[in-house]
Amino acid sequence: MPKSDIHPNWYPEAKVICNGEVVMTTGSTQEELHVDVWSGNHPFFTGNQKILDTEGRVDRFMRKYGMSTEESDNKDSKKSLKKNESDESQPKDS
């Protein structure tokens, strides 16, 4: 038997609340657990995972390790062409 007055209270039916809804119950030392993400709305578990590509990091990684697709190669070549055209249209200071 555990020592008295040293253990927290145990709530076997603690409510897990996400976005104002009770999504499940579990055992916890708190009566209510307020969470932002749980397995019912997390992209990994729902299969709706999106890759957020900031500053072309995914494309750069794919090129570096030779895993780029034709589609990403075409996008990259179009970007470089646009950049070169804009560089050429700028007057150069002599």
Per-residue confidence at 82, pLDDT binned at 50, 70, 90?
low
Q: Identify the pLDDT of residue 32.
A: 95
**Where is pLDDT greater, at 46 or 10?**
10
Q: Identify the pLDDT of residue 34.
A: 93
Domains recognised in the chain with CATH numbers: 1-49 (4.10.80), 51-87 (no CATH)
Does residue 26 register a pLDDT over 90? yes
Per-residue confidence at 16, pLDDT binned at 50, 70, 90?
very high
Tell me the DSSP string of 29-92.
SSSEEEES--TTT-HHHHT------STTHHHHHHHHTT---HHHHHHHHHHHHHHHHHHHHSPP
- For the ranges 22-26, 44-48, 87-91, the one whose mean pLDDT is highest: 22-26
